[in-house]
Chains A and B, each alone.
Chain A
Amino acid sequence: MKYVIIGNSTAAVACIEGIRSIDTAGEITVISDEKHHCYGRPTISYCLMGATSRENMKYRPDDFYEKNGVTTLLGERVVSIDAKAKGVTLSDGQEVEYDKLLVATGSRPFVPPMDGLDGVRDRFSFMTMDDMDALEKVLSPKKRVLVIGAGLIGLKCVEGILDRVGSVTVVDLADRILPSILDSEGAAIIQRQLEGKGVKFILNDCAAKFEGKKVTLKNSGQEIAFDILVVAVGVRANTELVRDAGGNVNRGIVVDTHMRTSLPDIYSAGDCAEGYDSSIGSNRVLALLPNAYFQGKVAGINMAGGEAQQTNAIPMNAIGFFGSHILTAGVYEGECLSHIAGDIYKKLFVKDNKLVGFILINDFLRAGIYTQLVRDKVDLGTVDFELLKDHPQLLAYSKAVRKAKLAQKV
């Protein structure tokens, strides 16, 4: 059996581990346009702030590919898939045949058209190790940094570079920071903390025009001078290979719960894939690292002839800024039970007698007990929710369930 994997990040690694849990003999080839050994993509901000190193960013040990019998074609780009002939073509013309193919091409930065953007010399995205290396080269204590986008990527970049530059200004069209994971009240806490560190925010606004090292904002009309520009407005799934091969593509590559695309023997996983999200009951791109792993593993097992499905994916995020931590999961709908005191912020969302989501800021110990209630859609009538409201604990389960959790192998 010949397995080919396009991409070399989390979903690809998980796919390899999934395949090898079933098939120890088949040939696996990984093709990636990135030259690096697999690394934890979200760790790039931590590297810039000195919390990890390039060596420690390696997502798997040095001997990972060798141990798993994987051939790597790194620095090579796949330009097309021939779903009928079952082969992929690389940019240098080389062709690689497959029996089973995984498309784990991830996503790329979305850069909206902005007047004068091409004239900005020091302009960066912040998604890859190469982005990190390029940005690091221009950091210096006097530089003024402008970040467009107050989402997860933009603000992790801010945390990574803040102590290495002169000033950081963040502009976002939304009315709050981290709009994908926080409501207004929660966002205000984190914004206040970041402002306390010296970060300047301009919300409800966007760039109208760049002129060299100056931007004019659209709504307020104010001008901001900068030396370094980071654009972190959003991402787009890399779907083109599957689309051009005739596969179903939406915002992401459409996959079923087995991670099969609409094309025979072609699977997809990770940030490029639009899989089933059980929190909303339909498919959407859940561009989260754990989800990339879950999907990649399921794909690998199925590619190798095993049986696995991903039916319980939910949005979930853990992110920190300067010692504050935000842990979130699910959807923010239904009845809200909140406990807010200073910088501690806790909201539980209950709907149809189930915990459907939560936001925890700076009070997050044992949050996984909540996450499991959300993921498994546990009927709150079967647990002592009064205890759980106070804090996550296994005491809330019945004795039988607890015994199954704690008195046997899981």
Chain B
Amino acid sequence: MKRIYVNEEWCLGCHMCEYECMFANSGLDEMFKLKGRTGEFIPRIQVEGGEKAPVNFAVNCRHCTNAICVQSCIAGALSKDDEGMVRIDRDKCVGCFTCVLVCPFGAIMPAPDGKTAQKCMLCTDNTAGEPNCVKHCPNNAIVYEERG
């Protein structure tokens, strides 16, 4: 299965991936309409390292082989699909955030409603088709490909 991988040497720390993630999952038709509304959306990818940090890199769900979030979910809301993607069913999620407690990458977070969790589903749950963060990364600091 194709996953998102990080080339930290190439990350500019520009946060475009975060904006593109918010946009792809916002349901809005134009990026500029996010202006003034970014508080309503929370990106599922997060750039680490501030301006003074020696390095920047983006982190989102690794779709782990033995995903501890899936094993820990109290509601059965997290599951692995046949391809290996970790999915969240937000109708089942009760917002206990046990997944936040166990994800070793810090890649699951509360959704904007605060009552459920959200995570990267590789843009299969919106109209972007392919991961929008990767598509718009200006420097190939994140890539979407098969790796061992």
Contacts and interface: CB of A to CB of B under 8 A. Distances in A.
Main secondary structure of the interface of B (DSSP, over half): loop
Contacts of A14: 71
B97 A369 contact: no
Given A293-B71, A317-B101, 4 more contacts: A40-B76, A56-B91, A366-B106, A369-B106
Interface string B72-112: 11111000000000000001101111111111111011100
13 contacts: A290-B72, A368-B101, A368-B108, A371-B102, A392-B106, A394-B48, A395-B55, A402-B8, A405-B62, A406-B6, A406-B105, A410-B62, A410-B64
A239 interface: no
A129 to B, nearest CB: 13
B48 A289 contact: no
B106 A365 contact: yes
B137 to A, nearest CB: 14
A372 B71 contact: no
Contacts of A42: 74, 96
Nearest to A376: B104
Contact of A372 (B49, B97, B104, B148): B104
A318 B71 contact: no
Contact of B102 (A43, A297, A316): A316
B74 A40 contact: yes
A350 interface: no
A374 to B, nearest CB: 11
A409 B95 contact: no
Interface string B44-62: 0000110001010101001
B100 to A, nearest CB: 6
Interface of A: 14, 40-43, 46, 51-52, 56-60, 289-290, 293-294, 297, 316-320, 323, 325, 327, 329, 364-369, 371-372, 392-395, 399, 402-403, 405-410
A407 B73 CA distance: 26
A410 B65 contact: yes
Contacts, number: 133
B96 A318 contact: yes
B83 to A, nearest CB: 13
Nearest to B5: A407
B15 to A, nearest CB: 15
Given A320-B95, A368-B101, A293 B72 contact: yes
B147 A408 contact: yes
Q: Is the interface of A mostly helix, strand, loop or mixed?
A: mixed
B129 interface: no
Interface in B12-64: 48-49, 53, 55, 57, 59, 62, 64
A327 B109 CA distance: 13
A409 B2 CA distance: 10
B111 to A, nearest CB: 13
A12 B100 CA distance: 24
A319 B71 contact: no
A162 to B, nearest CB: 16
B5 A51 contact: no
Interface residues of B, number: 43
Contacts of A46: 75, 94
B106 A393 contact: yes
A366 B42 CA distance: 14
Contact of A59 (B5, B76, B105): B76
A60 to B, nearest CB: 6
Contacts of A293: 71-72
B136 interface: no
Contact of B7 (A320, A365, A368, A407): A407
B94 A289 contact: no
B105 A290 contact: no
Given A40-B75, A366-B106, A394-B59, A320 B101 contact: no
A40 to B, nearest CB: 4
B71 A406 contact: no
A290 B98 contact: yes
A318 B98 contact: yes
Contacts of A60: 76
A80 B37 CA distance: 62
A290 to B, nearest CB: 4
B5 to A, nearest CB: 5
Contacts of B5: 406-408
B97 A318 contact: yes
A409 B48 contact: no
Contacts of A41: 74
A383 to B, nearest CB: 13
A297 B106 contact: no
